[in-house]
């Protein structure tokens, strides 16, 4: 039977089969011994299982299929002998941000987007709590991200506004949830999938008990697809972004960079810079430019914290 790994804990693997059954599986030594330069098995992996004990719903994993994509921990300054995979086959990162309460800090949103971009998984934005601002004001505040090309959804978990459209977008995908504490991620996921009962007002993190979720965990959606709870963007190498790669993580800057006179242009002060020309023509938003400069500064001066508090991640 084909299925997807929901989580890995201790020696057990929870698998949801395509038929909809949940099985507790083990990985046989034969597969463990197959040496591959990557994490053996993680949430999101497609697997084939053999129902060893159908009454107890216990199975054996007979094969792990190749991954389409991965969310991996970046290990800077190492020769990375082994890829450290957090989640297999992620399709999108959903960055959740509040329109109000807390007052939106667009610099913080940009940090999340940069982290998402650096993971090379496509991202989109969900603006929550529009009950506090009205949709129009939220669109004025965050419209600049639509201009860049990010899909933006305006929702209210509290009032159940915009959730159906979002649910349709999540269909048949593996979606990774990110965003600062208090944005309403848990509230929103509870709306998307009633019955999950994630605790609101409590940080969504990997468990610390006996059955610790080692990497990520997938929550199946009745409407199709999965939401992934990951250890956080901190794991995506956000701490280690180098100044010269930063422009790759701003789509609207990345777009102009190939036309700069110097191929290694940082867009700060070089002559013949197509990015600053676009900025002068008003084709790059001043706020985003300010964010770029700030992050460039931080990455050059080696502020490893990258401006995040632990609670943001």
Ligand X SMILES: Nc1nc2c(ncn2[C@@H]2O[C@H](COP(=O)(O)OP(=O)(O)OP(=O)(O)O)[C@@H](O)[C@H]2O)c(=O)[nH]1
Which among 80-88, 112-120, 129-137, 236-244 is the span making contact with ligand X, rule CB under 6 A?
Answer: 129-137
Residue 37 makes contact with ligand X by CB under 6 A: no
Distance CA 29, CA 15 (A): 18
Residue 173 tokens, joined: 């995908």
Phi/psi at 44 (nearest 5 deg)? 95, -15
Residue 156 makes contact with ligand X by CB under 6 A: yes
Which among 9-17, 116-124, 125-133, 227-235 is the span making contact with ligand X, rule CB under 6 A?
Answer: 125-133
Cβ closest to ligand X, residue 48 vs residue 204: 204
Nearest approach, Cβ of 276 to Zn ion (angstroms)?
Answer: 6
Pattern of binders to ligand X over 169-208, x per CB under 6 A? Answer: ----------x-xxxxxxx------------xxxxx----
Cβ closest to Zn ion, residue 192 vs residue 273: 273
Residue 135 makes contact with ligand X by CB under 6 A: no
Rg (CA), the chain: 21
Cβ neighbours of residue 299 under 8 Å, at least 6 residues apart? Answer: 241, 242, 243, 246, 306
Residue 57 tokens, joined: 């719903």
Distance CA 11, CA 191 (A): 32
Residue 109 tokens, joined: 């949103």
Cβ closest to Zn ion, residue 71 vs residue 273: 273
CB-closest chain residue to ligand X:
184
Which among 44-52, 65-73, 150-158, 274-282 is the span making contact with ligand X, rule CB under 6 A?
Answer: 150-158
Footprint on residues 169-198 left by Mg ion (CB under 5 A) = 185-186
Cβ closest to Zn ion, residue 86 vs residue 265: 265
Distance CA 179, CA 96 (A): 5
Residue 288 makes contact with ligand X by CB under 6 A: no
Query: In which element (H, E) is residue 123 found?
Result: strand 123-128
Residue 16 makes contact with ligand X by CB under 6 A: no
Find the DSSP H helices in the chain. Answer: 29-32, 106-118, 135-148, 163-170, 185-192, 251-254, 274-280, 286-300
| Residue 124: CB atoms within 10 Å | 19
- Which of 1, 100, 204, 206 is in the footprint of Mg ion by CB under 5 A? 204
Residue 217 makes contact with ligand X by CB under 6 A: no
Residue 123: name the closest of 132, 133, 112, 131 by CA.
112
Instruction: List interacting residues with ligand X (CB under 6 A).
Output: 128-129, 131-132, 156-158, 179, 181-187, 200-204
Q: Which residues make up the interface to Mg ion (CB under 5 A)? A: 185-186, 204
């Amino acid at each position: 039977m084909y299925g997807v790994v929901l989580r890995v804990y201790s020696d057990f693997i929870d698998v949801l089969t395509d038929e909809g059954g949940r099985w507790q599986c083990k990985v046989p030594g034969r597969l463990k011994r197959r040496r591959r330069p990557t994490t053996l098995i993680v949430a999101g992996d497609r697997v084939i299982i053999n129902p060893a004990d159908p009454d107890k719903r216990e199975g054996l994993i007979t094969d792990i299929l190749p991954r389409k994509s991965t969310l991996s921990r970046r290990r800077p300054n190492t020769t990375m002998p082994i890829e450290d995979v957090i989640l297999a086959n992620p399709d999108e990162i959903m960055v959740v941000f509040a329109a109000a309460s807390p007052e939106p800090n667009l610099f913080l949103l940009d940090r999340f987007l940069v982290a998402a971009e650096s993971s090379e998984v496509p991202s989109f934005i969900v603006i929550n709590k529009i009950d506090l601002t009205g949709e129009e004001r939220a669109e004025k505040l965050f419209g600049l991200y639509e201009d860049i090309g990010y899909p933006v959804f305006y929702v209210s978990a509290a009032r159940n506004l915009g959730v159906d459209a979002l649910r349709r977008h999540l269909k048949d995908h593996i979606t990774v949830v990110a965003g600062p504490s208090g944005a309403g991620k848990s509230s929103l996921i509870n709306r998307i999938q009633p019955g999950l009962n994630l605790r609101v007002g409590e940080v969504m993190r990997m468990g610390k008990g006996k059955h610790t979720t080692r990497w990520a965990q997938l929550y199946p959606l009745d409407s199709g697809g999965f939401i992934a709870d990951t250890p956080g963007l901190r794991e995506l190498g956000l701490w280690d972004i180098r100044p010269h790669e930063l422009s790759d993580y701003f789509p609207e800057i990345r777009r102009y960079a190939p036309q700069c006179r110097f191929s290694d242009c940082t867009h700060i002060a070089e002559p013949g810079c197509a990015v600053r020309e676009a900025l002068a023509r008003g084709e790059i938003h001043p706020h985003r430019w300010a964010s770029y400069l700030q992050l460039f500064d931080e990455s050059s001066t080696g502020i490893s914290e990258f401006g995040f508090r632990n609670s943001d991640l």
